Chain A
């Protein structure tokens, strides 16, 4: 203070001890500083995660209105060790297919950190069997797939997650949850039965944000026993390397030879972190979404299909009878041209509207009744300032909480589960539940009227709500996270956990498991 307020101070000083005033003037700024910094320091401290830790100890348990397995299970706190149950629990490592059953399809996958050449550019990335994407794995429905993974040179370690395949939990390939990351020189064997025909993909779930962006992925196709009705079956794995859009690893139009009149099944997989729009000129049918057939799909035209990050869609197009070709756009930047060799097709205009899967195809029984669920969960996504892992920022929240104080959804085997997903975060989120497919009941409160719309990766745009349902029929501990892998790395990860199961694996630890 200076002279301008001297008179007023004079009166004040007349009433109190000047020494006390001086002391107060010294102490007040310090107190004010503490009042600002102390809460920040507390928030910072509270956001740090121990190393190593078990996902069983993360956040708080959400019973969804169902039965709590044991009283007082550590609600509200974080990292409290809430589900290391006193009663004996089964380790998820036991959740495997019959070890005595011989494999029908055997695949060796070798992962390397190396330089990729994409569209004439050299990009540091990751390969599987020296290519990115890695080799396509094809199996017939009912076959047992056995994959031998060997990590040759990815220093952070690798795993393989079978995106969209409801494998036994021990085969889910999530570092620190279902296995340890495979170090350089190490290996891991995955065995699972190809039960559901459809289009899937595989990718690393160790340090997945840079590894998947860098190309550690590949296609997995399970064909029905009866075969498919189309004459041509082609996979189109879309991936962006350093800003270059590619299909099957090539930054050029994918040309598929087909005769006039042929019906073609295009299996599109979006392996990027953002939604991708697919469209064509003329009509097409959307045969399947996320590895599940649409019931009685009709011909559609002037509508695009949006694939969220991680999603797949099988489209059927017909090669025109007049010798021309058909062109399918995978975003503005890449395309598939199908038709007689050497025949090109112009880029079709992008439709102004999307195909609404809420009302596409015909209804058919779900096989369970979601009207009276055993558990009802909320997955409300927000964004707020705070600390995550000791770092300040604007972070994604789940039900108002920041990582690691996020919900763990607890279910019992056989439960019918309904989840209300709500996005108030201002950005789109591709929500991916491992080990299960969920059926969409409603979007923004409007009930589904078309074919059952089963997904494993759901595009939840800003300000949208979804009500989804599933049957808890695949025991274990499953990630339920945003498949914009950058967002997952920022803490947008919850888990679905079955009562009575535990994991021996740890996040961090000697294997340095970092699933995001």
Chain B
């Protein structure tokens, strides 16, 4: 026992400990630790600013439909509803297009054509949100008011979703601008995931006489299902938190309407519009509580999405 300890100590005692290595490792660990500290700070600050609004009646806050800072009445439901509706619209519009793009790039396009697809995707992802908002406000919204919404109203008007006057500004506008913005996210992650499908699997499918689409449907998509779901959840996370473009086109009215044509509001938009002017503690607290809700939901979605996307990568290395 004693001799064993001595054997452990002695080499350390005689070999020179490299001070530089120690210092370097410590500095790097500290810088990396800062990421954890920042994460902790985010949670702490959000909770500290939000707990006044949430502490008393958290359920009433979330279920309340009336938002009137002047009368100190704070209900978050119109914003939660608007966020969910516009994000759902964006997912419904963006997912098929993003998947089509990804399949085109990975399975159909010749290698020389690939930059033709990936470069526009990067451009789309690089345009600042406020520029999308500007475009949405002055180009897309008039188009919705004059063309798309009357068209939808006359063809699908029997559904309550597409009734009412075509205002342009509203849930539909918010959803469509979000669709444009999350398209590159969903497409590029799907491309990554589809590329990981083993060639042998695809060749096997083709060798059995499958057409290209049957190969995609029976080999590529099932193999990468988890990753594509992950890509969609990542896109959803972006859609929920996207602020400027939605703020500029959703209409900013804290009400709940069934029709997609009517103006609504979203969680990030109300924070963007009211936070700078909120003077009393209750109002700031309520807005911070909305931020906390947004934070919780996006962290949850992102964790799930990352785990799903990672799972596909691991599957590929194993087989």
A, B assembled together: no
B-binding residues in A (CB < 8 A): none
